[in-house]
Amino acid sequence: MSHPWSAPVARDAVRATVTIPGSKSLTNRALVLAALADGPSTLHGPLRSRDTELMAAALRALGTRITDGPRDEWLITPVSPHGPAEVDCGLAGTVMRFVPPLASLATGPVTFDGDPQARKRPLSTVLDGLRALGADIEGTALPFEVRGQGALPGGRVTIDASASSQFVSGLLLSAARFDHGITLVHEGESVPSLPHIDMTVTMLRAAGVEVDDRQPDVWRVKPGPVDPLDLDVEPDLSNATPFLAAAAVTAGEVTVPGWPEHTNQAGDAIRDILERMGVHVRLDGAGLTVTGPEKLEGADVDLHAVGELTPTVAAMAACAHGSSRLRGIAHLRGHETDRLAALQHELNSLGSSVQQTDDGLLIEPRPLHGGTWHSYADHRMATAGAILGLRVPGITLDDITTTSKTLPDFTGMWSTLLDPVS
């Protein structure tokens, strides 16, 4: 059920320390690897949100045992996957793209479905790729069925992953369990969000899987065992960006503790973007601290590798002095919603001047006014509306519950951000 929410206005500069829950990307990749491992795994501080609970439920449906540990942990005991089973993908791209390769290793049929919006998301790339590797699958989009035979030959496959890096990650995560591993070749426009593939490769290697990614657009995974995990999940840096943006648009200061010095998370790119918009950025033992300027500057930013940051950056750009160009993000037209069309419509409805280009957005700041901000069942659209609400009285989000996809207590965290003493 949708829940409208009046975005609170920042009466003064925002000054707060905000602790961010664990990374969705790390949590869901780790859950898949743990389900394939040769022994029990432990995830410390995993994200508990709709997307990760959907992933855990999907793996449980296939037989994996996932229980709570005594200190904010998930304890995972792998079991040979089996059907019949039903998987609810919700609107989680990681579930609909990471679980089918694992389901192809199950014995018995596994059916997949999800939210109405999820049925519009592209899946044929990963499903056709699995068919080429020997899987029996009926359907090219949700709902579909994987008829597992207990094994998958694997081998060489060529796909076009220009719409989403998740097509690559989904096939790589289970590939060590394919009879012949995988040689995955991408042909097409450049793959977006490459940091997410780097994260997948890093996690595979940490689990003892041999991966060769030396050749551009080619990934080779050898068949073999998957070591159990004992993983401390980093804070979700992409989820941190709305809170950092709060400092940027109010000339305030926000610190996020636990920001890693080295990481594969795409959200780490926000540091450079903020600096280019005139924000002071400091990473030290206290975490990442950003201090907003009196006048936020527009910027020309290539977001091809970090498209998930686009709604946050667009919201900041609408509050800046000077125009901004966001480039390299044509693939966002196929995300939870068409994010480019959604951002253009919503920003213009509040008084901004936004035009779409072939690969992005041109944003000319204008005086903004209140109104309804539509989330389109997209958590990052919702948080973008909250950022604007800090500066513009009278903005109402049509549905704040969509933030539960990755931040179950977003409204509570946002309230604390504005009133850290209470």
pLDDT per position as a tens digit, 131-147:
999 999 999 999 999 99
Q: Are residues 17 and 104 in the same domain?
A: no
Q: Kindly report, residue by residue over 221-254, the tens digit of the pLDDT.
A: 999 999 999 999 999 999 999 999 999 999 999 9
- Catalytic residue annotation: 308
Evaluate whether 67 touches 73 at the Cβ level (below 8 Å).
no
The predicted structure's pLDDT at residue 334: 76
Q: Are residues 15 and 63 in the same domain?
A: no
Displacement of CA 39 from its chain's centroid (Å): 27
The predicted structure's pLDDT at residue 120: 87
Last residue within a domain, chosen from 161, 190, 222: 222
Query: Is 53 annotated as belonging to a binding site?
Result: no
Evaluate whether 15 touches 420 at the Cβ level (below 8 Å).
yes
Q: Are residues 297 and 209 in the same domain?
A: no
User: Considering the domain boundaries, does residue 11 fall inside one?
Assistant: yes
The predicted model gives 18-40 an average pLDDT of 97
Q: 139: Cβ–Cβ under 8 A, 6 or more apart, which residues?
A: 127, 145
Query: Is 193 annotated as belonging to a binding site?
Result: yes
Query: Is 374 annotated as belonging to a binding site?
Result: no
pLDDT at 54 over 90: yes
Q: Are residues 160 and 308 in the same domain?
A: no
Q: Is 115 helix (H, G, I), strand (E, B) or coil?
A: coil
The predicted structure's pLDDT at residue 422: 39
Amino acid, res. 231: L
Query: Is 24 annotated as belonging to a binding site?
Result: yes
Report residue 70's pLDDT band, with 50, 70 and 90 as the boundaries: confident
Q: Are residues 316 and 196 in the same domain?
A: no
Question: What average pLDDT does the chain have?
Answer: 96
CB atoms within 10 A of CB 99: 31
The share of the chain scoring above pLDDT 90, in percent, equals 94
Q: Is 204 helix (H, G, I), strand (E, B) or coil?
A: helix
Query: Is 308 annotated as belonging to a binding site?
Result: yes
Q: 336: Cβ–Cβ under 8 A, 6 or more apart, which residues?
A: 91, 93, 117, 121, 376, 377, 378, 379, 380, 381
Number of independent structural domains in the chain = 2
pLDDT at 127 over 80: yes
User: Considering the domain boundaries, does residue 227 fall inside one?
Assistant: no
Q: Are residues 280 and 151 in the same domain?
A: no
Both tokens assigned to 263: 């990481």
Report the CATH number at residue 57.
Answer: 3.65.10.10
The predicted model gives 393-420 an average pLDDT of 92
Domain boundaries, position 175:
24-222
The predicted structure's pLDDT at residue 420: 63
Evaluate whether 306 touches 269 at the Cβ level (below 8 Å).
yes
The share of the chain scoring above pLDDT 70, in percent, equals 99
User: Considering the domain boundaries, does residue 92 fall inside one?
Assistant: yes
Query: Is 405 annotated as belonging to a binding site?
Result: yes
Q: Are residues 383 and 258 in the same domain?
A: yes
The predicted structure's pLDDT at residue 261: 94
pLDDT at 421 over 60: no
Containing 133, the helix (H) or strand (E) segment is none
pLDDT at 418 over 90: no
User: Considering the domain boundaries, does residue 229 fall inside one?
Assistant: no
Query: Is 145 annotated as belonging to a binding site?
Result: no
Report the first-to-last Cα separation within the chain, whole angstroms. 29
pLDDT at 160 over 70: yes
Nearest to 95 by CA among 72, 62, 66: 62
Q: Are residues 208 and 270 in the same domain?
A: no
Report residue 335's pLDDT band, with 50, 70 and 90 as the boundaries: low
User: Considering the domain boundaries, does residue 132 fall inside one?
Assistant: yes
Last residue within a domain, chosen from 222, 244, 271: 222
Q: Are residues 16 and 35 in the same domain?
A: no
pLDDT at 390 over 70: yes
The predicted model gives 388-399 an average pLDDT of 97
**Planar angle of CA 197, 241, 288, nearest 5 degrees:** 95
Q: Are residues 211 and 278 in the same domain?
A: no
